[in-house]
Structure 1
């Protein structure tokens, strides 16, 4: 797929070659009845793509992706087709490291994804890595709540990206934002089930990672495990800054607001502080409305180096189970106003 400019792939319209699994597998969609003139609706011949079952996992080890696009400028992937990862045959049989991302984009600038339905990915549904100028809209991403590591959209090393008007209900993060990422705008996304919208985890194995200018607005968390979350692993370096979650609707969401600087990536329940930590600063949580399914509505658990410039205002979160909610702060510095429950533990 290298070196192809202004390609238009529609489920269906036209694509000359589609890479699956590794660089040696190509499919000419013209042989399946697609016209490929950029105008004809080819959806009758390309309406659904179904992944092979787990017995074929050897094909994916080299690229670690099923449908892979690399170094394509101006690519449009448009619906209303369906991409089915056949994940139920993979989740219980295959280790995480051997499961592919269903749809992966690497070094693809000016990318557009619209209208598709993504089902039951083997691992992450969509991967965006080393891309710039990406617009994602009107997607439906669906997997069972207990499907392991089935992130909806996973973003890393990318900049200038917009996600809008999308439904994501999976077994892991609805959207996961990793290091090297900046200028991300997420609007009108409904998340649930899933683990919420997460920045991180950052800093694993002492690495240096940066994330900035992430703005999440007008989104809904419906019975998610978490809501708005920033997670870093002790010992890393770099920063997570200029981040906002605003005008958020909560429907029995667990852990609605979380900064977790003692995250262990599943190894332990709580990792102790180290001499170094990702610097978390200039983070705003504003305009949250709805119900929490966890006793801790707000948990700002910062490293001993502290989180700076935290703003928590215009919050009204009540319990979905009839109990008084708690707020926890640890080394968190900032300002607060007009919050239910009260955030009296922020340091000035």
Structure 2
């Protein structure tokens, strides 16, 4: 991070001033830093190049990256504009340029990260990636991309612990938040999602990988017009586990697949594997409307199955007046204290 990272004061600040717009190519900042709390203050606007030939060819992973910057603070009320329209079109046209898309903000091994009060729009690919970080606070973000923009996840989390995301609005063309392998103690509260593919755990276990996720708590979140609501997705060929998951005080408005577990995700048709075990998943005080006939889908594999699935005060109705909705389940075991529609594989 150059002179900024080597500054000896308690909180050195790299400032993007208000009222200014800056065009920025790929850039990476690496620690360790001398300061305990380096501060990036974004009050203005940072925009990405919007043509393929304006980028360097040596980094197709990220637009702005931070590695091993401990105690990093990024805030200020400013805006990141990824100007991703050309890349979305390339993906829709099966153009090779699609593979050169970059995630907008990438944080790797940034323990103690504090990210807040920022606007993120139109990333080429995912907007924010949090990888191998511990003790992370994310709040008061607005993340936006059109619902037809491919793979523009709001926040991707992987190999990270003790991540707290709250009081944010995310509407994109893919997952609002995706929780990937080897992540634990993830708390998501007060997030509004839509459009997008909901809040997802997974997918996990691709290409036979062993992956785990546990202690995820999603509370007081709202979904409007999303393709999915709260979802757990694992590859049939993988191994590992997902456990101790809670979805509480959740609302849906015209969402497809409000509650879905897909333990047999297998778009390539490959078979086999021990499966990723899913257990101790609770849905409590969940309500709202489903755009699909199947409002609750528990598609669990025969080998691994899903155990101790709890539905406690779940009430979902159709968003189409007069239409009936139902639950679908396979190889799921647990308890339904109060669930509408009735979930036939769970005991009352």
- Is the TM-score greater than 0.5? yes
Give the corresponding residue for 1:32.
none
Matched, 1:90 2:87: yes
- Alignment partner of 2:191 out of 189, 192, 196: 189
Question: Structure 2 CA distance, aligned partners of 1:219 and 1:10?
Answer: 33
1:160-213 per-residue CA deviation (whole Å, 9 max, x = no partner) reads 000000000000000000001000000000000000000000000000001000
Give the corresponding residue for 1:167.
169
Give the corresponding residue for 2:44.
47
Q: Do the aligned partners of 1:10 and 1:78 also contact (CA within 8 Å) in 2?
A: no
Once the 2 structures are TM-superposed, how far is the Cα of residue 54 of structure 1 from its aligned partner? 3.3
Give the corresponding residue for 1:126.
128
Question: Structure 1 CA distance, aligned partners of 2:57 and 2:118?
Answer: 23
1:291-338 per-residue CA deviation (whole Å, 9 max, x = no partner) reads 001111100000112111111120110000131111011000101111
- Alignment partner of 1:69 out of 47, 66, 72: 66
Give the corresponding residue for 1:292.
290
Q: Do the aligned partners of 1:252 and 1:292 also contact (CA within 8 Å) in 2?
A: yes
Once the 2 structures are TM-superposed, how far is the Cα of residue 138 of structure 1 from its aligned partner? 0.3
What are the residue-to-residue correspondences of 1:1-348 with 2, within 5 Å? 1=1, 4=5, 8-9=13-14, 11-12=16-17, 21=26, 47-56=44-53, 58-59=55-56, 61-62=58-59, 64-93=61-90, 95-264=97-266, 267-268=267-268, 271=269, 274-305=272-303, 306-322=305-321, 323-346=323-346
Question: Structure 1 CA distance, aligned partners of 2:106 and 2:247?
Answer: 26
Question: Structure 1 CA distance, aligned partners of 2:41 and 2:347?
Answer: 59
- How many pairs align? 324
Question: Structure 2 CA distance, aligned partners of 1:282 and 1:200?
Answer: 16
Q: Do the aligned partners of 2:13 and 2:41 also contact (CA within 8 Å) in 1?
A: no
Q: Do the aligned partners of 1:261 and 1:303 also contact (CA within 8 Å) in 2?
A: yes
* TM-score when normalising by structure 1: 0.87
Question: Structure 1 CA distance, aligned partners of 2:109 and 2:81?
Answer: 24
For structure 1, the residue ranges without an aligned partner over 5 or more in a row are 14-18, 25-37
Once the 2 structures are TM-superposed, how far is the Cα of residue 263 of structure 1 from its aligned partner? 1.1
Task: Call closer, same or farther: CA 1:286–1:10 in 2, change over 3 Å.
Answer: farther
Once the 2 structures are TM-superposed, how far is the Cα of residue 22 of structure 1 from its aligned partner? 5.2
Once the 2 structures are TM-superposed, how far is the Cα of residue 11 of structure 1 from its aligned partner? 4.8
Q: Secondary structure at the match of 2:148?
A: coil
1:245-287 per-residue CA deviation (whole Å, 9 max, x = no partner) reads 11001110110000001113xx35xx57624101111111111
For structure 2, the residue ranges without an aligned partner over 5 or more in a row are 19-23, 30-37, 91-95
Question: Structure 2 CA distance, aligned partners of 1:42 and 1:127?
Answer: 19
Once the 2 structures are TM-superposed, how far is the Cα of residue 7 of structure 1 from its aligned partner? 5.6
Task: Please say which of residues 206-215 and 337-346 is displaced more in the overlay.
Answer: 337-346
The CA RMSD over aligned residues, in Å, is 2.5
Q: Do the aligned partners of 2:239 and 2:273 also contact (CA within 8 Å) in 1?
A: no
Task: Call closer, same or farther: CA 1:180–1:7 in 2, change over 3 Å.
Answer: farther
Q: Do the aligned partners of 2:87 and 2:98 also contact (CA within 8 Å) in 1?
A: no
